[in-house]
Amino acid sequence: MNRKATFTSLGLGVVWFVLIEIIMINHQEPIWGLFSLICIAAMSGSAAMYYVRDQKIILLMLPLPIFMLIVILIGNPQIIYVPVASILAFYCAQYLVSKKMHNALVLVLFVLLSYVISFLIFPVYLLKSQTIEARSQENINFFYKSNLGNSFTIPGEKPIILEFWNKGCSNCFKKMYMLEELKAEIGDKCNILCVYVDYQEGVDDHFSEYEQSLLWLDGRYNLDYTYDSLYYHYDKKLGLPQTMIISPKGEVLYNDAGYLKGNKKKIMDKYKSILQESS
């Protein structure tokens, strides 16, 4: 076995592994992350076939993604697509190059494939994975005054989007940008209210933290905020942010949990569709 080829193979495998880890760390942008991951894996597979003449040596790279696969299965099975997509792209690109297909053509094929998966198929999957089946419960009713002095009443004249958030939830603040954009698009067709919750002890214990959060939020988002009373509608097990869309009669029309910035358009389209159907 050629020593130089062995080290080249292992080196390519390590670089590939490190790049994938970097993408996973930035998992808040999974759509662009998946696109980059497939492209990098395909480039690595093509490069391995081009520079390493002994095809068997390339198998030395296999333990790295297999290790990552095991770690993800233990830690977070929901992102199992990360190692699976990378392994498939790497070895499929290797196979195509071995069949005398030109490297450039192979890479173009994988760029197109990764685009279709990442921007056409994956967003639909993400939206479905974060959607919660509307719970069967009695209609909700409440009266609220926000930090801006605006009144929110259900039953009322308009549907309302309740956004549950907490100061320790970075994705909550990212979603507020989306809600602000949604508010500008839908105008006065729907109210939006951000409700502070505490997923550790209980909202009554941390009102001062809510007040501090409002000081930080001042001027950042054109949204209304409130605290506490709707806490019993929030499911702690699902984490934050959580969204409920409620009809003027108090019926829960839609629930979701989590937010992935890269899927903003699909989420906004879903919310607008729900609101349109309820009008």
CATH class assigned to 133-278: alpha beta
Helix (H) or strand (E) holding 135: none
Position 233 scores a pLDDT of 58
The DSSP symbol for 26 reads T
Model confidence over 40-89: pLDDT tens digits? 888 878 877 776 666 666 666 677 667 767 776 776 666 677 778 878 88
According to CATH, where is 3.40.30.10 located in the chain? 133-278
Model confidence over 10-47: pLDDT tens digits? 666 666 666 665 655 544 466 777 788 888 888 878 87
Position 72 scores a pLDDT of 67
Whether residue 153 is predicted with pLDDT greater than 80 in this model: the reply is yes
Q: E strands of 182-241, at which residues?
A: 191-196, 224-227
Position 2 scores a pLDDT of 59
Position 134 scores a pLDDT of 56
Cα–Cα nearest to 94, from 110, 118, 111: 110
